[in-house]
Amino acid sequence: MSASLAERTRLGGVSVDGVSKVFRRKRLEIHALSETNVEFERGEFVSLIGPSGCGKSTLLKLIAGLDTPTSGQIRAGGEVVSGTLPSASVAFQKPTLLSWRNVTDNILLPIEIRNGRPSKADHAYAAELIEMMGLQDFASHYPRELSGGMEQRAAIARSLITRPDLLLMDEPFGALDEFTREDLNEELLRLWNAEPKTVIFVTHSISEAVFLSDRIVVMSARPGRIVDVIDVDLPRPRSARTRTSPEFNELVRRGRVSLEAAKAAGGPTHDAEAGGKP
């Protein structure tokens, strides 16, 4: 384990090679993901977008090692993913904070799990992340005392506390209102700029994907597969002004066309992807 750990911690790039995932539910076979090939380069910000049931969350879970592919291979940092990666971190759609821990202790949870008691340096880094997420006045508040946006900020700080090379985000802002979401998009990019890492970001929102990403991977349902990849060549750093540029709007339009085609290819999308919004 320790021999491969050094290698694993240098991870960042991910390659998905002929991966498919089939769920069996009472004789029914659901092809959540079929023969998928995609590369995520080190330090790249890539969004996965597609209609409900297209397997974008499944793909993310497979990369995170929370689930195993039915066939194919996923390599992270050159090594086959089996089990969860110490150098990867996951942010979920729900903040998933523990109600009995305050913000600081929630953020330090991954450290506690991995190393036992958090060190002074860990506490200092937690304080830094809290500051970066604008939560400095709420460090010792409990989740019930926070707004939805603040809870999600704390959850993101928690996903960064282990200094991951690979950040996997499953619609982290899906439940937030437009303004909070845009604020958090900008903050996420600031963090990503400050400490470059590979980010794979699942979303339902085309404009969010365009704003954040280097590339957008468009997926289609039934079976879940990749149907298009859009390169986003907007200059960085991006800001609120980016959103009003004609290039941005052109890319959003392209994304929409591609997504409509994906929807048409996948047939009607009535099946439930938990908590999904159109």
Partner 1 sequence: MSATKTELMPVLSGDDVRTTTGRETTLRSVFASTNVRAVLIVIAIFGGGFWLWNVSTERGWVSPLLLAPPEAVGEALGRMFSDGTIWTNLAATAQITILGLTIAIVLALLISFLFVFSESLRKAVYPMLIIIQTFPKVAIAPLIIAGFGYGTTPKVILAALMAFFPILVNALVGMTNINNDQVNLFRSVGASKWQVIRKLRIPNAISYLLPALNSAAVLALIGTIVAEFVSAREGMGFAIQAAVQTGSVGTTFALLFVLGCFGVAIWLTMAGLNFLLRKYQR
240 binds partner 1, rule: CB under 8 A: no
146 binds partner 1, rule: CB under 8 A: yes
DSSP character for 82?
A: -
Binding mask 197-236 for partner 1 (x = CB under 8 A): ----------------------------------------
Please report, as a single letter, which amino acid is at residue 266.
G
User: Is the omega angle on the peptide bond into residue 143 within 30 degrees of 0, that is, cis?
Assistant: no
Within its chain, how far is the Cα of 242 from the centroid? 22
Residue 93 or residue 213: which is nearer to partner 1 going by CB?
Answer: 93
Minimum separation from the CB atom of position 196 to partner 1 (A): 21
Please report, as a single letter, which amino acid is at residue 22.
V
3-state DSSP assignment of residue 137:
helix
100 binds partner 1, rule: CB under 8 A: yes
66 binds partner 1, rule: CB under 8 A: yes
Residue in this structure with the two tokens 């996997």, named with its chain if needed = 168
Minimum separation from the CB atom of position 232 to partner 1 (A): 27
- Residue of 42, 101, 254, 263 interacting with partner 1 (CB under 8 A): 101
132 binds partner 1, rule: CB under 8 A: no
Residue 102 or residue 263: which is nearer to partner 1 going by CB?
Answer: 102
- Residue of 62, 90, 129, 189 interacting with partner 1 (CB under 8 A): 90
The answer to whether 165 and 14 have CB atoms below 8 angstroms apart is no
Residue 15 or residue 180: which is nearer to partner 1 going by CB?
Answer: 180
98 binds partner 1, rule: CB under 8 A: yes
Task: Tell me how long the chain is.
Answer: 278
- Residue of 88, 212, 232, 252 interacting with partner 1 (CB under 8 A): 88
Minimum separation from the CB atom of position 101 to partner 1 (A): 6
Q: How far are the Cα atoms of 11, 128, 182, 222 from residue 178, in angstroms, in the given order?
A: 33, 26, 6, 30
Residue 115 or residue 245: which is nearer to partner 1 going by CB?
Answer: 115
Minimum separation from the CB atom of position 144 to partner 1 (A): 8
Minimum separation from the CB atom of position 173 to partner 1 (A): 13
> Comparing C-alpha atoms, which of 158, 165, 187, 192 is closest to residue 45?
192
Locate all alpha helices (DSSP H) within the chain, ordered by sequence.
2-9, 56-64, 103-107, 109-115, 120-132, 148-160, 178-194, 206-212, 246-265
Residue 82 burial class via C-beta count within 10 angstroms: exposed 0-12, middle 13-18, buried 19 and up: exposed
The answer to whether 235 and 27 have CB atoms below 8 angstroms apart is no
Residue 136 or residue 193: which is nearer to partner 1 going by CB?
Answer: 136
147 binds partner 1, rule: CB under 8 A: yes
Please report, as a single letter, which amino acid is at residue 70.
T
Q: What's the rounded Cα separation, in Å, for the pair 96 and 188?
A: 18
69 binds partner 1, rule: CB under 8 A: no
Binding region for partner 1 (CB under 8 A)? 61, 64-66, 83-84, 86, 88-90, 92-94, 96, 98-101, 105, 109-110, 112-114, 137-138, 145-150, 162, 180
